[in-house]
Amino acid sequence: MTNRIVVVAGGNLFALAAKYLNDATQWIRIAQANQLSDPVLSGVMTLVIPPVDSAAGGGVVS
């Protein structure tokens, strides 16, 4: 599966991970794909959403 591109206005990576990756704890994967360190978003942003990977860990940078 390929990456998805989404445009968001504010919000947070937890909600996006829950919606697109089916696991809010995988927010770090979205952060890494977009070179972000803060899960809280401000303004309008275009983000890369990685493919769903149920085996991926979540929440902590390894």
Q: Which pLDDT tens digit goes with each residue over 26-47?
A: 999 999 999 999 999 999 999 9
Domain hosting 28: range is 4-49
Whether 56 is in a domain gets the answer no
Whether 57 is in a domain gets the answer no
Is the pLDDT reported for residue 22 higher than 60? yes
Whether 60 is in a domain gets the answer no
Is the pLDDT reported for residue 61 higher than 60? no
Q: Which residue, 51, 41, 42, 44, is CA-closest to 15?
A: 41
Report the alpha-carbon distance of residue 6 to residue 31 in Å, rounded: 13
Whether 62 is in a domain gets the answer no
User: Across residues 41-60, what is the average pLDDT?
Assistant: 87
Res. 52 pLDDT band, cuts 50 70 90: very high
> In total, how many domains does the chain have?
1
Question: Quick one: 38 exposed, middle or buried, by C-beta within 10 A (0-12, 13-18, 19+)?
Answer: exposed
The reported pLDDT for the residue numbered 2 is 87
